Structure 1
Amino acid sequence: MSSEKILVGEYLFQRLLQLGIKSILGVPGDFNLALLDLIDKVGDETFRWVGNANELNGAYAADGYARVKGISAIITTFGVGELSALNGIAGCMSERIPVVHIVGVPSTKNQAVKPLLHHTLGDGDFKVFERMSAEISAEVQFLDSAETAPQKIDHILETCWREKKPVYLAIPSDSGYFSCDASGLKTPLNLSYPENCPVAEAEALKEIVSRINSAKKTAILVDACVSRFDAKEETQALVDATHFPTYVTPMGKTAINESSPYFDGVYVGSLTETDVKERLESADLLLNVGALRSDFNTGTFTYGTPVTNTIELHSTWTQIGTAKYENVGMKALLPKIIAALDLKAVQAKAAPVNFKVPTPTAAEGYPAGTITQKWFWPTLSTFLKDSDVVVTETGTSNFGSLDCRMPKNATHLSQVLWGAIGWSVGALFGACLAVKDSDKPDRRTVLIVGDGSLALTVQEISTCIRQGLKPIIFVINNNGYTIERLIHGLHAVYNDINTEWNYQNLLKDYGAKDSRSYNIHTEKELVELFQNKEFAAADVIQLVEVHMPLLDAPRVLVEQAKLTAAINKRV
């Protein structure tokens, strides 16, 4: 045992700082207050507490922060606080986002005698909420011993990083002040991914190279887990080396460079643009990298690519046709595939790319100059610039963004699989914080959210203002839940919202002393705004209210809604 000592809470915060986390999100509560006092003892002025309007927003913010920075942390209090965060944490589990959920719980003494404390269910069971979180966490740990605390902290943080899933860490109100061994802090956390099995990897590599050499036409499809498991650089290298036409799924947007001469469009199964669909599905070999085959990511499972012609590369396994190779992960395998190929021969038979950048289409069936989804998203492409962080909301924004070509080094955040309405506003705040905490703090952060979704989590805009953050917020004002209308209840009252909000006063009402708001009704007004250098500079927080027709929606959303409605159809 080392003679160097440190408080358990300090040990945890030092480890979080070593992971690059500088902003601790969450909401204070009596069982975590003493722990929060230790944040200031870390001794690094960049490491700080950043509170949220509520725990759900905090979890969404932790999600957004982790997508930009790599990992995040949120602190809530026992029972009432942690349960409020669970929807956001479940979304992180679903979408493979590494978030450390730290919960301040009653002291070890109270845990032993089980008094009838507030925030309990009144039955003396102090572990019930921990068991709930266990179902949506990669791992749970309870810190009740100074001797084991450092090892438990290190282990759970390594698990969070490697598995890209949330973890749950319960800290009794007294144990954060237990004195523990500090020597572990001198040894960096082991953040390396498991090594590939040499024998299985060699077999898989040989078969992959053989299939690529034999194929007449090969295509690459890039999906979400390329971003999640830090394989963007390796995947882009494969694209650049082979010149194979490359496609992304909705969840895979910005996992590769969409300005690449080899980028050939977005693939969503049967919902794909006809010419793009034909080009991908005519390939006799598909390299599917980082697949996450959810319904909205695949056009409700309508891929026209036979398994026998597909090679799937995942974080910890590879599948070639119907043969599965365990312990062969893509991050280590991709460079070896490139090294083993005859690149000149491969490039010589790479099919040409015929991608056409989506062009704005004038309103059809509406008065001239009306802003429609079909016009808005390609037009937004002209405003975005390299390295922007773009956050889109569940609904029209997620589907509309498929027609928005993202610039080089942009980061697109969306929650296609979990699909919680309102997620994007909290995620925007977390993304803005992550940019501020990064080595590129001047990156712009842009949110596109519908009026219905905004209402669920709008309070987090006030937190952006409090922290001096400067996002650009586009609010699509189309009077309600468009995605729900298309699925069921076109004019049903439950898909309506309060239409009396004054979005032009929103930033000022939340206390912004320096802000700009714009009320945009026509194509001409929006084009002029995009050409406004002051607006593009994003030097203050800005809100753009964009008016669109009630039932106008992106083409892919219209078709996806039909498929979803069919699945949900009443018997």
Structure 2
Amino acid sequence: MSSLGDKHGATGINPKKLTYEEQVKLSAEAPNLGVHIANRLVELGCTTAFAVPGDFNLLLLDQLLKHPQLQMAWCCNELNAGYAADGYARKKGIGCCVVTFSVGGFSALNAIAGAMSEDLPVIVISGVPNSNDYAQNRVLHHTTGMTNPASGGFNQQLRCFKEVTCYQATLNHVEDAHRLIDEAISAALVRKKPAYIEVCCNLADATHPSFTRPPVPYMLPHAHTNPNSCQAAVDAVGEVLDKAIKPVLLAGPRLRHGHERDAFLELAQSSKYAVAIQPDAKGMVPEDLEGFIGLYWGSISWPCVCEIVESADVVVCCGTVWTDYSTVGYSLLLRPDHIINVGDHRVTVKSGATYGCITSEHFLSALAKRVKPNPTAVTAFQRMSTPMPPPERQGPNEQLQVKVLFKHIQEMLTPNTCVLSEVGDSWFNTQKLRLPRGCAYEMQMRYGSIGWSVGATLGYAAACAPSVYDIKACDISQLSGTEGMHQGKEATEQPNRQAVMAESQHTRVISLIGDGSFQMTCQDVSTMLRYGLNPIIFLINNLSYTIEVQIHDGPYNAIMNWDYEGMVKCLNNGQGRLWTAKVQTEEQLEDAIAKATNEHKNHLCFIEVIVDRDDCSKELLEWGTRVGAANGRPHSPH
């Protein structure tokens, strides 16, 4: 059975398993379509769904609410609900968002495209029009006005989701709903991609005999490996590695799922090769691993890593993904005839033979038993590299520098933290952090949608909650009267129900978000407050879309300056566990971090960091220049 755990080896919430009969009893009635969907999600450990109500999904939401182990988190908009499901799936292995037809689904489309790009199983459930309307030529609200089936009828949303999901199903009758639901969820889990399910608004409470049967447990067998092909690949690669002088292992983001990561670590430990990572594989390989040399990102790699990787005579690439972003505008100097590619169920040896029908897990584990130790590249790296001294302390009235901010973030990291980095300069600064074993790291490297991190913070933080967490009990909007109202940032007396999660949360999320990104999706900070989540959000205020400035500057990259600290207080409206600060010096930053990690550890802590507009990392300058040049290549007729 395939693991549904996150890339760091944890599985987040592990709710007490109920028998199907217990679930039915607790649901107070025989399961209907909506309850059946809830049962299937909970069975897989997806115990929180992120939703926005709309008239086509209201009956469905009523049924989902009946399941005692499925918690509903009500988001401010569908885009953030999709991002939250993305963040949740990164921790739990599967996520879910529930939207309404058209006006909701199209809003979520961008977030689901990101999950598609990032290989995340997210189940999108959309309420759609009454099943009777599909056979009638009438115009409905929330449609484009085209009713002719030849023009798409009510299928415009489904057709759009075909481009960003691996499976689509419309439940417009209950006879085959059981099968379609299982096929959709299975496809998402096997292919590591989102799946899309439409539920007609009048069928959410419909029953069917298939819903009363205990569900067949999900058994996700490992992809088949041809033993002869695998052995031939091991022999061929082993022969190449035996002759190699300075072999290197390179880990990519597709080691996130299943057991490939464990097999990769087995190979790293047995071979003693130097181990480097791609940017979005950060956190997948322990950084205290013997042989770990750090980040390989072309010309903006960690010191000396680029030289070691690009001078290696053999680079074994495992789960790697090559884009213009990860290659710094296609500027890498890796030679194809030095690369052994492992992934996508095949192994390619340099520029020659390809061996198919092989899983990475089986191949890497077998290769680990075949190779001979060769630490030559590690020794060369140790001779070349020298530790980088931390930035010097700034004066009491000196403008805070970004590199000083990250010096202090480094000191915050523990095995019980997760660094979540927004698109922008935070990418390059968080890549320099040394993660202690157990510390998680997340970024949206391939899709790169600014604003992703707010919803992803919500989802990841919710996924970190222990099994005692009850999002309904934490929901401060359900407090009667003025309970919980009018409590400022220094408040310490809060409703017990709201503190359930914060006081028992295992992993605390540290999010680094730029001001431009925050303006895209800031509303769902209120959702974090509503449910008592306690991330630490560093809002880096530099008055611009910094990453676009470095790729191609123009007046359009300047943004309106907000009072971000004041806005978050406004979103809270005195109701939740919130502590805020605005810092401009190192001394103020130290004080804010001390309070956020001690007396306000159960609060959502929002720290607005004021920095100079032109204070960005040299890595962003280099990367932006090269990516901009790649974007500006003259047209070449094909």
After TM superposition, the score normalised by the length of structure 2 is 0.83
Equivalent position to 1:442, from 503, 506, 527 = 506
Assess, with a 3 A threshold, how the Cα gap between structure 1 residues 397 and 535 changes in structure 2: closer, same or farther. farther
Write out per-residue CA displacement over residues 229-287 of structure 1, whole angstroms, 9 at most, x where no aligned residue: 55332222322232221111111111111132322121112332452211122211111
**Alignment correspondent of 1:499:** 561
**Alignment correspondent of 2:340:** 311
**1:139 aligned onto 2:167:** yes
Write out per-residue CA displacement over residues 56-80 of structure 1, whole angstroms, 9 at most, x where no aligned residue: 0111111111011111011111111
* Structure-1 separation of matches of 2:558 and 2:213: 55
Q: Does the CA contact (< 8 Å) of 2:454 and 2:518 recur in 1?
A: yes
For these two proteins, the number of residue pairs brought into alignment is 562
Q: Does the CA contact (< 8 Å) of 1:359 and 1:378 recur in 2?
A: no
* Structure-2 separation of matches of 1:399 and 1:7: 49
* Structure-2 separation of matches of 1:127 and 1:496: 39
Q: Does the CA contact (< 8 Å) of 1:483 and 1:557 recur in 2?
A: yes
Equivalent position to 2:80, from 40, 57, 67 = 57
Assess, with a 3 A threshold, how the Cα gap between structure 1 residues 396 and 184 changes in structure 2: closer, same or farther. farther
Assess, with a 3 A threshold, how the Cα gap between structure 1 residues 62 and 356 changes in structure 2: closer, same or farther. farther
Matches within 5 A, 1:182-261: 182=211, 185-229=214-258, 231-261=260-290
Equivalent position to 1:107, from 101, 108, 130 = 130
Write out per-residue CA displacement over residues 134-163 of structure 1, whole angstroms, 9 at most, x where no aligned residue: 011111111233232111111111110111
The SS at the match of 1:331 is helix
**Alignment correspondent of 1:389:** 418
The SS at the match of 1:400 is helix
Q: Does the CA contact (< 8 Å) of 2:48 and 2:71 recur in 1?
A: yes
Matches within 5 A, 1:477-556: 477-489=541-553, 492-504=554-566, 506-507=568-569, 509-511=571-573, 512-531=575-594, 534-535=597-598, 538-556=601-619
Equivalent position to 2:92, from 63, 69, 76 = 69
Equivalent position to 1:336, from 339, 362, 366 = 366
Instruction: Report how far residue 106 of structure 1 moved.
Output: 0.9
Equivalent residue letter for 2:622: E
The SS at the match of 1:265 is strand
Work out the percentage of aligned pairs sharing the same amino acid: 29
**Alignment correspondent of 1:569:** 632
**Alignment correspondent of 2:536:** 472
Instruction: Report how far residue 114 of structure 1 moved.
Output: 3.6
**1:153 aligned onto 2:181:** yes
Equivalent position to 1:92, from 115, 129, 143 = 115
**Alignment correspondent of 2:66:** 41
**Alignment correspondent of 1:15:** 40
* Structure-2 separation of matches of 1:30 and 1:521: 46
Instruction: Report how far residue 228 of structure 1 moved.
Output: 4.1
Equivalent residue letter for 1:12: I
Instruction: Report how far residue 476 of structure 1 moved.
Output: 0.5
Equivalent residue letter for 2:93: G
Q: Does the CA contact (< 8 Å) of 2:249 and 2:274 recur in 1?
A: yes
**1:169 aligned onto 2:231:** no
**Alignment correspondent of 2:18:** none
Q: Does the CA contact (< 8 Å) of 1:99 and 1:166 recur in 2?
A: yes
The SS at the match of 1:91 is helix
Write out per-residue CA displacement over residues 490-522 of structure 1, whole angstroms, 9 at most, x where no aligned residue: xx4321222142415623642344322122212
* Structure-2 separation of matches of 1:449 and 1:164: 27
After the TM superposition, which parts of structure 1 deviate over 6 Å for at least 4 consecutive aligned residues? Answer: none
The SS at the match of 1:247 is strand
* Structure-2 separation of matches of 1:570 and 1:241: 44
Q: Does the CA contact (< 8 Å) of 1:114 and 1:126 recur in 2?
A: no
Instruction: Report how far residue 292 of structure 1 moved.
Output: 1.0
Equivalent residue letter for 2:625: K
Equivalent residue letter for 1:469: L
**1:121 aligned onto 2:150:** no
Matches within 5 A, 1:315-464: 315-322=344-351, 323-342=353-372, 345-346=373-374, 351=379, 353-354=381-382, 358-362=388-392, 369-436=398-465, 441-464=505-528
Assess, with a 3 A threshold, how the Cα gap between structure 1 residues 488 and 14 changes in structure 2: closer, same or farther. same
Write out per-residue CA displacement over residues 370-393 of structure 1, whole angstroms, 9 at most, x where no aligned residue: 332333334421211113111111
Equivalent residue letter for 2:580: S
Moved more, 48-57 or 182-191: 182-191
Q: Does the CA contact (< 8 Å) of 1:391 and 1:448 recur in 2?
A: yes
Assess, with a 3 A threshold, how the Cα gap between structure 1 residues 222 and 496 changes in structure 2: closer, same or farther. same
The SS at the match of 2:516 is helix
* Structure-2 separation of matches of 1:349 and 1:148: 57
* Structure-1 separation of matches of 2:291 and 2:551: 35
Instruction: Report how far residue 183 of structure 1 moved.
Output: 6.4
Assess, with a 3 A threshold, how the Cα gap between structure 1 residues 506 and 422 changes in structure 2: closer, same or farther. same
